[in-house]
Structure 1
Amino acid sequence: MEKKILALLCLLYAGNLFSQVNQFKILNTSTAEPVEGASISNATGLIGISNEKGIFSITSENLPGNYKISALGFETLDIELKKSAGLAKIYLSPRLEGLSEVVVRSTMIPKPLIKVPAAISLITATDFKRTDATNVLETFNNVPGVYVNQGALNTNKITIRGIGARSQYSTNRIQAYFDGIPLTTAEGELTLDDFDQESLERIEVIKGPTSSIYGAGLGGAINLYSTQPGKTQARLGLKTQFGSFNTQKQVYQASNTTVNSSLFAVFTNLTSDGYRENGNYDRKSALLNGTLKTSEDGSLSYLANFTRLKAFIPSSLNEDDFLNNPKTAAFSWAQSKGYESYDRGMLGGSYTHALVDELSNTTSIFINFRNAYEPRPFNILKEERVSAGVRTKFKLDARVFKIPSEISLGAEYYNEWYEIGTFQNLYEDFPGTGSVLGNRLSNNEQRRDYANFFGQISLEFNEKWNLEAGFNLNTTNYSLKDLYARDQVNQTGDYGFAPVFSPRIGTSYEIGEGKNVYVSISHGFSTPSVAETLTPQGQINTNLAPETGINYEAGFKGNWLENKWYTEISVFSIQIKNLLVAQRIGPDQYVGINAGKTNHNGIEFLTNYRFLMGSKLQVKPYINGALNFFKFDRFINDNVDFSGNELPGVPKYTVNFGVDVQSDSGFEFFSNYRSVGKIPLNDENSNYTDGYNLLNFKTGYSFKIIDDILLNVYAGINNALDEHYAASVVTNAVGFGGAAPRYYYPGNPRNYYGGLQLNYVF
């Protein structure tokens, strides 16, 4: 009897082994989110469909085998599936023509783009391919409502819907994150030109006040997402590029993906002599990111980035030099050989854990540092900055009043220490040697911290109608310690802003299959920097208030002609009060005042179409743009009334038209025509730039040298029409000592580039 029972157990065990179930999980390559409803089939037909967690099962008797996996909005994947001891991951790549189906990650509750009741633009891998890859900010100019002033590779300023246009040399009023790690300083300053597009999967731009999600972001928010290796494989890559002005770029990449982990590393070195005098540029950067599945319900992601920069500064020109000698640098900057240099790094990690089936948590910790040295004609600046913080977010799937809902609640805390000192620049005493460090002029230490408490709920009333509501409560405080005792001014003091409550509500309704309309109202704010709060006597201006605004918006997002044609249009009105104005009282001294109100009214549009020329060639024309009606509502500054004038620093319109051609054979061609309207240069509207038009081309060809080695060869032309234009402007420039005001940064003339990229998969 014992032998019979033992034999029966052996048969049952063998049968269990034979029919062992293997589980696979399908993930979105861009977002790492599960793909629900994907079809898995083989030669015999449909095998299964992935569940809400992206998981499907296949018995061992059907493995190994060749399978086809397809899902709406994704590229179809042909893959050989093998037996696996654990939960094997499979990645699907979103289709470009399925843009509306891409799940947006920037909102607290991820949702397909077409259903989000907000103006969100995506910068994808195709957008990166259209440019020469020397400055990632070039891709932002293809986003309706966004305008980038590009004075040089290291002198850039982003405006969203005209907000931030009054900043003199840098980007502010915009929040930015890299894989959830804050990039904007506690004072609101932002630098994005450190990052290479080779390290990015995509970028999401939320336009208009986003304070209900990210705190002090009156202009909007920019979220950068690092490259995810995707398929289970190892890869090495090498890229080299050469261009006009002795511009050179080298990129080295490596990645490895297994069932439970992924790792991606990239190193870039970009150098250029620049078009203008005193324009040399040298940047080295390294990035490492990865994921690790720690348990069935938990995963860890990590990110490290380091940048070393030395970039000389030609600065802005007056009108005569701009028209007749655009290659020259500003005289004092050329004589002092002014430049900026810094080491900058960030390190962060996030842990996501499913607490129960309906509740999950993601917690991130991060630290940033920057050590900078910048010789300018008027002084030499030394800066040190260290910041750290934590952000946690809970996501709950529930039913509210029997309505399917998603709820997100969380908090963020950010602390920053900043030390700044200025010194005499003795370059005039040592002709021909450039900047020379002199005696100390100032030494200040600043500490700023803020806390955000946020929440959002998404209600799905039915398949067509959803509603979102959210809020953010912000507290901001800072202290200033004057460490320089030799002058008669003591700037030491503490200051805090009253808590700011920022609500948002929006709703989207499907009026037809693949066609949604939306409306939203959102509140936003931006706090003054420490420099703006100082009076000319060096005291803290405790009467200065945050800049606040309300955004009213309505829009349409829709697919047509079997999803081959996609369109967006949005109409918005942003009313800003307590406008922060930086009044210039010296070559490098500004004071802030609350000077009035502005109206930011505009229309943004986007459309793209996909032609199929046979089965192997796609032609994709697109057009997008913005019409801007940005004016001072009430603005009196220094007893002069500018009410009704146009807001300086923003073009009246921007339009992009382009055609992308891509084939299965590996051939690619990209063309882009950009038209930019006139830009007011000052509050008086007494000076304007001329409008300009740029035409860019790029072509490339990819082919396999052998089975595992892929080579891409490419070349391009920027500004093919050789247009003379102002690529950036300084608003309200002032000429000191009888000199003409220097408003203009000339753009590069016609220039060329080319390169090759080698990838080895093993």
Structure 2
Amino acid sequence: MKHFLLLGFLWLFGWNLAFTQEFRGKVLDATTGNPIENARVTDLNSGQTRYTDRYGNFRFQQVSFPLMLEFMAPGYQVYTESFEAEKERTDIFLQKNIDQLSEVVVRSSNIPEQIREIPASVSLISDNDLKRTDNFNLVQNFNYVPGVFVSQGALNTNKINIRGIGARSQYSTNRIKAYINGIPLTTAEGELTLDDLDPEYLERIEIFKGPVSSTFGAGLGGAINLYTNRNRKEQKSITGAFSYGSFNTRKTSANFSFVKDSLDISMNYNNVQSDGYRQNGAYDRVSLLGSAGFLDKKGNYWSFFYSYTSLKAFIPSSLNVTDFRENPEKAAFTWYQAAGYESYAKNIMGISYEHNFSDNFQNQTSVFYNFRDGYEPRPFDILDEDRNSIGARTKFNFVTEIFELPSSLSFGAETMYEFYEVATYENLYEEAEARRSLQGDRLSASDQLRNYINIFAQLNSELTSKLKLEAGINFNTTSYDLEDNFEIDEVNQSGNYSFEAVFSPRVGLSYEAFEGKNFYASASHGFSTPGLAETLTPEGLINTELKTETGWNYEVGFKGNWLRNRLYTELNLYSIQIRNLLVARRVGQDQYVGVNAGKADHNGIEFSSAYQSQLSDGFDLKLFLNSNFNFFTFDRFVDLGENYSGNTIPGVPEYMISPGAEISYKELTANLNLQAFGEMALDDANSGYTEPYHLLNLKLAYALQLGSNLGLQFNFGINNILDENYAASIVTNAVGFGGSAPRYYYPGNPRNFFGGVRLNFNL
């Protein structure tokens, strides 16, 4: 009997050893690979809970297999995983919860901070936000951001303004800095094109509104920072997708991702083609994007980014009011006859290195090269241009104590040298038998070497446990060397020119009045230098009297969580006061020159809110409301004897209100949103306005898991459900020549449909 009892005891003891064992692991950030401290790990079988240490480690001494663990950490998505047997050590990667805005750490800030604690207005577009619309055009997503407006003439004719800065630019975005993975996208003369980046390749977009010179340098309107996916969780996957929409619009894309040990690689191909809603509106773009990263044993990170774009997009141009209302599909007559278009091949590449000297001292340095070869036949001439840019950016971050106050110091510099060659030729399209452009004699030729240097510094200090201070400064010098290579005419534009050095300070305070609720106030200085076209007089001479446009931004706001962090709200009130206002004066058909014409006041209110809740198991609800109200006027503006002082600044809607809802039930997701825009003044004289308009949009998506390694998703959507007739963009201060009516209007697309399929295979 004793033997049987002993054997029974040994059997039970052995069974207990086999099924109640120790389990250890480490919880890491899926993007950076950094450990997450104080993450809660719960054994769902026994109810035991552990918290990770500063290195992300956790340990259960007695567990039973199969083991089901739940991982939770502030600002991260809840993650559950089942384990069938003991492993020596398990790495768990948690994804940032981008939708919980207050907890998001802003990556593009000189000193990383949670969005709620930054004394400035910063908006975030997450990868989930990008999935709420069709995937044909990236910049359409910016129109949901308070304070940002995109004038959309066509897939390739987009102009972004932030808080009205850049609204009076004629055909392109300027006065805004932009980066992708820290690599500058804005040219040395301040122009920016984001149309050719694929939204499906991006992980997030961070938008700083207003002058942010202490962080990014020149950019009176603000800064746009784009980031591609960076994942430390091991994976090998291939994704293929096809989308089709109205106007014979189609997109084919493929993506490959590989993450193993310390190496992560991602490559993307996409081709977008469309006949366009209007005449002469065909579009064809091929893009290749690639990124790679390597994390060494000391935690230092190497990264590489490359982008190639080949584009040919025809231009229907703007219409007068009669054609806009009665025949919006037509193109402007001269652009149609000339078959005007733009084409270019563009390369962007950069290498970055993040080095940890210690836990408190880090550096990030990037070197980059951009190349663009463009050709654009227009009715009035043919533009042929080449642009090569090379530069570097370095930033040091140091955590220390100053006067016994916990502080972080960031300092660094950015420089770019840009080589620009441009020539114009006669367009003899009227002599061609077919409808096409025909290159004639050369009209002009010049080279320009443009360079700038930004030196910046920023200090963040905790004055008390509730009150935080930010202070920064930027020093900028910009110069250019112009060489006129066209010796036939009598005008020689050659010369070396530079703008006065600019010092731009910034200071901000953030106070946590109640738990999770912050008030802030800030003041910042910004500036924008004139572009090449703006520096030339009507006679073709350099305008040496032209000054840098400058402005002060004064802002107060509130950022807060409610309802146990399910609701986030943000309210901003700002006033940007601009001096030496740069305006484009029209001197001929599609010909403009820059002048300093006075002062302008950009006053506004912005409000945003986001709510998310799990109504039941598998049933999630997200609501959002974004809005802004603009009061942009000329303070003092007299040009060619006309006094526009007190008038509304044209090109910006007087308001934007955008409510929306996302409902998810298991594999089905529905997005419904409304965009309401107010009227826009057409010109400086406020002689006319556009009509307010509303756009109602819907998108449905259904995901299927066909196996452990194969996923399938379908989507279908309708844009402009109400079939609104509206002006998606205007040409401010358009002038009619030869008795014709001015062509102010770019018609928006009528009701249109889209759908697509996506297949994902994990190797």
1:724 to 2:725 alignment = yes
Aligned to 2:52: 49
Q: Helix, strand or coil: the match of 1:610?
A: strand
For residues 113-169 of structure 1, give each alpha carbon's deviation from its aligned partner in whole angstroms, at most 9, with x where no partner exists: 111110000001221111111111111000000000000000000010000011001
Shift, 1:433, TM fit: 3.7
2:12 maps to what in 1?
A: none
Q: Which amino acid aligns with 1:396?
A: F
- 1:39 and 1:50 in contact (8 A); partners too: no
Shift of 1:534: 1.2
Aligned to 1:278: 280
Distance 1:378 1:97, change over 3 A: closer
Letter in structure 1 aligned against 2:751: R
Q: What are the within-5 Å matches in structure 2 for residues 551-570 of structure 1?
A: 551-570=553-572
The one-letter code matched in structure 2 to 1:671 is L
Q: 1:148 aligns with which of 144, 147, 150?
A: 150
Alignment match, 1:639? 641
Query: SS of 1:457's equivalent?
Result: strand
Q: Could you tell me whether the CA contact under 8 Å between 1:565 and 1:608 is conserved in 2?
A: yes
Tell me what 1:743 maps to. Answer: 744
Match of 1:6 in 2: none
Q: TM-score, normalised by structure 2?
A: 0.94
Q: Is the 2:569–2:610 Cα contact (8 Å) retained in structure 1?
A: yes
Q: For the residues of structure 1 that align with 2:604 and 2:30, how far apart are their CA atoms?
A: 34
8 A contact 1:679–1:689 mirrored in 2: yes
Deviation at 1:536, TM superposition (A): 1.7
Query: 1-side partners of 2:670 and 2:60: how far apart?
Result: 45
Does the C-alpha gap of structure 1 residues 198 and 421 become closer, same or farther in structure 2, counting only changes over 3 Å?
same
Instruction: Report the alpha carbon displacement of residue 67 of structure 1 after superposing the two structures with TM.
Output: 4.0
Q: 2:740 is aligned with what amino acid?
A: A
- Tell me, yes or no, if structure 1 residue 327 matches structure 2 residue 324: no
Task: Tell me which amino acid in the other structure corresponds to 1:222.
Answer: I
537-546 or 303-312, larger mean C-alpha shift? 537-546
Select the residue among 590, 605, 616 that pairs with 1:614.
616
User: Counterpart of 2:104?
Assistant: 102
> Residue in 2 aligned with 1:168?
170
Q: CA deviation at 1:707?
A: 2.0
Shifted more, 326-335 versus 453-462: the winner is 453-462
Percent identity between matched residues is 50
1:371 corresponds to 2:373: yes
Which residue in 2 is equivalent to 1:4?
A: none
Aligned position for 1:388:
390
Matched residue, 1:92: 94
Tell me which residue corresponds to 2:696: 695
The 1-side partners of 2:429 and 2:620 are apart by 58
1:16 match: none
CA deviation string 1:456-478 (max 9, x = no partner): 11111233211111111111111
Provide the C-alpha distance between the structure 1 equivalents of 2:208 and 2:607, rounded to a whole number of angstroms. 15
Q: Does the 8 A contact of 2:201 with 2:229 survive in 1? A: yes
2:17 corresponds to which residue? none
**Number of the residue aligned with 2:15:** none
| 2:513 corresponding residue in structure 1 | 511
Contact 2:30/2:233 (CA < 8 Å) preserved in 1? no
Instruction: Tell me the equivalent position of 1:159.
Output: 161
Larger mean CA deviation between 265-274 and 610-619 belongs to 610-619
Q: Deviations for 1:396-431, whole angstroms, at most 9, x for unmatched residues?
A: 110011111111111111110010111111110013
User: Is the CA contact (8 Å cut-off) linking 1:27 and 1:89 kept in structure 2?
Assistant: no
**Greater shift in the superposed pair: 454-463 or 160-169:** 454-463
* CA distance, structure 1, for counterparts of residue 461 and residue 193 of structure 2: 36
Is residue 397–residue 406 contact of structure 1 (8 Å, CA) maintained in 2?
yes
- 1:195: which partner in 2? 197
Specify the code of the residue in structure 2 equivalent to 1:257: V
1:424 aligns with 2:426: yes
After superposition, the C-alpha distances for 1:673-697 in whole angstroms (9 at most, x for unaligned) are 1110000000000110011011000
Distance in 2 between residues matched to 1:732 and 1:88, nearest whole Å: 63
Between the aligned partners of 1:149 and 1:376, the Cα distance in structure 2 is: 21
Q: 1:65 deviation in Å?
A: 6.7
Q: Which moved more, 1:168-177 or 1:702-711?
A: 702-711
- For the aligned residue pairs, the C-alpha RMSD in angstroms reads 2.0
Q: Secondary structure at the match of 1:198?
A: helix
Q: How far apart in 1 are the matches of 2:264 and 2:610?
A: 34
- Aligned equivalent of 1:345, options 337, 344, 347: 347
Q: Which amino acid aligns with 2:678?
A: G
Query: Matched residues in 2 for 1:34 and 1:737: separation?
Result: 69
Q: Tell whether 2:684 aligns with 1:683.
A: yes
Q: Matches of 2:548 and 2:275 in 1, distance apart?
A: 41
Change (3 A) 1:667 1:278: same
How far did 1:547 drift? 0.4
Aligned residue for 1:707, secondary structure, equals coil
**1:668 is matched with which residue?**
669
The partner residue of 2:478 within 476, 479, 482 is: 476
SS of the residue aligned with 2:116? Answer: helix
1:249 alignment counterpart: 251
- Give me the whole-angstrom Cα distance separating, in 1, the residues matched to 2:22 and 2:718: 57
Deviation at 1:622, TM superposition (A): 1.5
Contact 1:476 1:496 in 2 (8 A): yes
SS in 1 for 2:446: strand
Q: Structure 2, unaligned stretches of length 5 or more?
A: 1-20
* 1:443-592 correspondence runs (5 A): 443-592=445-594
Deviation at 1:589, TM superposition (A): 2.5
Secondary structure of 2:153's match? strand
Report the CA distance between 1:608 and its aligned residue: 2.1
Aligned to 2:410: 408
Name the SS for the 1:552 alignment partner. Answer: strand
Q: What amino acid is aligned across from residue 49 of structure 2 in structure 1?
A: L
Q: Does the CA contact (< 8 Å) of 1:73 and 1:101 recur in 2?
A: yes
Is 1:128 equivalent to 2:112 in the alignment?
no
- Aligned residue in 1 for 2:299: 297
Indicate how the Cα distance of structure 1 residues 584 and 32 shifts in structure 2: closer, same or farther if over 3 A, else same. farther
* Structure 1 residue 533 displacement after superposition: 1.1
CA contact (8 A) 2:23 2:87 kept: no
Aligned-pair distance for 1:80?
Answer: 6.2
Q: Is the 8 A contact 1:28 1:34 kept in 2?
A: no
1:230 to 1:673, Cα distance in 2 relative to 1, 3 A: farther
Residue type at the aligned position of 2:306: A
The DSSP-based 3-state class of the residue aligned with 2:335 is helix
1:230 shift after superposition: 4.6
- The question of whether the paired residues in 2 share the 8 Å contact of 1:26 and 1:50 is answered with no
Q: Distance in 1 between matches of 2:717 and 2:569?
A: 28
User: How many Å separate the matches in 1 of 2:598 and 2:350?
Assistant: 40
The match for 1:8 is: none
Judged with a 3 Å threshold, the aligned counterparts in structure 2 of structure 1 residues 33 and 628 are, in CA distance, closer, same or farther, namely farther
- State the Cα distance separating 1:95 from its structure 2 match: 2.4
Shift of 1:21: 11
Q: Is structure 2 residue 699 aligned with structure 1 residue 705? A: no
Q: 1:207 aligns with which of 206, 209, 220?
A: 209
